Chains A and B, each alone.
Chain A
Amino acid sequence: MDRPHSFTEYIFLTAAVCSGLLTAAVFLFLLIFSLPLLQNGELTDLLLSSWAPDKGMYGIYPMLMASLTLACLSLVISFPLSLGCSFVISALAPARLRRFLLSMVRLMTGIPTVVYSFAALFLLVPFMRNILGHGSGMSILTAAPVLALLIAPTMIIFFVGSFEKVPLSATLAVDALGGNPIQKLLYVMIPQAWPGIINGVLLGFGRAMGDTMISLMLAGNSVSAFNSLSQSARSLTAHIALVMAFDFDSMEFKSIFVCGLLLYIFTAILMLLLRMSTLCLSGKR
């Protein structure tokens, strides 16, 4: 329906366009600043070689692997825990405990990541040092559980939210047949709510990839490729934070924009995936 546009509509439109342009501007900035490297070397070179600035090598392969490993490992730890916790909140716990747990999970989302890592630095790192018996105690294995704790509330809230959306009539039907809570969960709620579960996992993975402070403060930041999980490693985000201190014109500095670009594209793909999964699933129903 075409209607004459009013002046106020233009104001609101301008605000939306500005916000949209800012999103594009972030991408453009990253692209422009990483162009020198993208033109010089092959992109594959950059992605697959290692980091040795003194030899003129600015590959970010170790960081990429560290980021992916960290994110996957924390997801592997966090997913079952979050799912279990959301079972407790949605079906198993009595009302009062349920409210307490939900409030706690909400509170967890408000805890600054820098505080998590600060506490873990003085609690978990010495512990890991003792267990591993070598090194500083900072490693992928140290950072992953803390990262898991960070992404757990995101996932739990998403899971609980999608369980809540299961129509009451469906769960009542199970109750009427004499089913217990866990049967309700297994045979009615999970089959109905799994799109929400997938979306929650995708979001959690995104958060784990994007977090800076935990990997920066706990994973050790070693630039060399790691062979085992008990070794120190540097994630893409930590790499950006650390190289920043260097000279603005150096190749090292430019290389962090490639990292940024990579993370941006990763996010965009993730969001597209989320969008598509939501669309497909809602279309199917």
Chain B
Amino acid sequence: MIRRLIEGSLILFSWAAGLLLTLAFLTLVGFLLQKGGTSLGVNLIFGDTAPLDALLLRQQVFDGLFPAIIGTLLLIAGSMLIAIPLGIAAGIYMAEYCRGRVKTFFSLLFDILAGVPSIIVGLAGLSLTIFLHRSFSAQISTSLLISCLSLALLVLPYLIRTTQTALESIDPLIRMTAPALGASRLQNIIRVLLPNSISEIGSGIILATGRCAEDTAVIMLTGAVASAGLPRSIFSQYEALPFYIYYISSQYSGPDELRRGFGAAILLILLCAGLLLTALWMQRRLKTILLYR
């Protein structure tokens, strides 16, 4: 009897928990959409500047999100450019070459790196800057490049782990096929193992891109500022969407700016959700596209 009661209340509680979580999530997103939905439009991005002029860099955009969007895109591109080759190569080493105690040691290191809070990664980027500043040139300060390096470090363990698990989960029969036909280890990796895990690795890369796009703590320590316009080079400071949102939350001067903040939040959600959905779709589809032809 008591048992039935426990079981029943557990069912009730579980449903309530699921409902509460769904409601909380939908309320937050709905609130954002309701507040910022009206601000969405060309105006939000380019302000009063003509879009074409802005895109061709003929005119600066002062009252739109254009510099922040470009900053975020540059951040993503830069950090992934650094992280992808390093992460995949290290992942291949972990899965295909590394054995025994060395492997245990390395995976522990990468686990720690994966668990390190992003603000610590930002702090490391900042200390690197201070170090360079003191040792080499007083010209060096926080910049787009430092942010890209730090963000690359942030997603590196993730890429390593994705590549490693993808390679390790390949069917042993497929793994043996190419060597039995006279393939070298490298040939096997390049021609069979990597193509076979392309969808997992691909979706891992996309998810890592999402982390680069959303992270605020790293960039606020390494060079993101509220108003910098478009970055002139990788050595200058820059704007970025997440930092803009943070900045607006405490420094907004009027309802217009606040609305732009909500608009930025919606854009960032769209970007991250889009990346996430692409990654999920990729897990199912990419293999079909690349290999069935």
Contact = CB atoms under 8 A, between A and B. Distances in A.
- Is any CB of A less than 8 Å from a CB of B in the complex? yes
Interface of A: 6, 8-9, 11-16, 18-20, 22-26, 29-30, 32-33, 80-85, 87-89, 92-93, 101, 104, 106-123, 145, 149, 152, 180, 182-183, 186, 203, 206, 209-213, 216-217, 237, 240-241, 244, 248, 256-257, 260, 263-264, 267-268, 270-272, 274-275
Counting chain B CB atoms within 10 Å of each CB, the highest count among A115, A145, A183, A186 belongs to A115
**A contact patch SS:** helix
Contacts of A267: 112, 115-117, 120
Given A19-B156, A183-B7, A212-B217, A107 B18 contact: no
Contacts, number: 245
Interface stretch (B53-61, B63-71, B82-90): B82-90
B227 interface: no
B10 A186 contact: yes
B265 A84 contact: no
B47 to A, nearest CB: 21
Contacts of B262: 118
Given A217-B246, A241-B119, A257-B123, 18 more contacts: A9-B93, A12-B90, A20-B106, A30-B127, A33-B130, A84-B13, A87-B17, A93-B18, A107-B276, A114-B265, A115-B268, A118-B265, A119-B265, A122-B35, A149-B21, A152-B21, A182-B10, A260-B123
B18 A6 contact: no
A107 B124 CA distance: 30
A237 B108 contact: no
A92 B14 contact: yes
29 contacts: A6-B185, A8-B186, A9-B93, A12-B93, A15-B93, A19-B90, A26-B113, A26-B116, A26-B124, A26-B153, A29-B128, A81-B17, A112-B213, A114-B214, A114-B268, A117-B249, A118-B245, A118-B246, A118-B261, A120-B28, A122-B31, A152-B21, A183-B7, A203-B115, A209-B117, A211-B117, A212-B117, A241-B119, A267-B112
A244 B221 contact: yes
Contacts of B221: 240-241, 244
Interface string B89-110: 1101110111000000010111
A116 B27 CA distance: 11
Interface residues of B, number: 82
A104 B18 CA distance: 11
B111 interface: yes
Interface in B144-168: 153, 156-157, 160
A61 B210 CA distance: 34
Given A117-B249, A244-B221, A237 B18 contact: no
Nearest to B114: A271
Contact of B25 (A32, A104, A114, A244): A104
B290 interface: no
A16 B186 contact: no
Given A113-B214, A209-B117, A29 B127 contact: yes
Nearest to B94: A16
Contacts of A240: 119-120, 123, 221
A81 B116 contact: no
A116 B214 CA distance: 11
B14 A115 contact: no
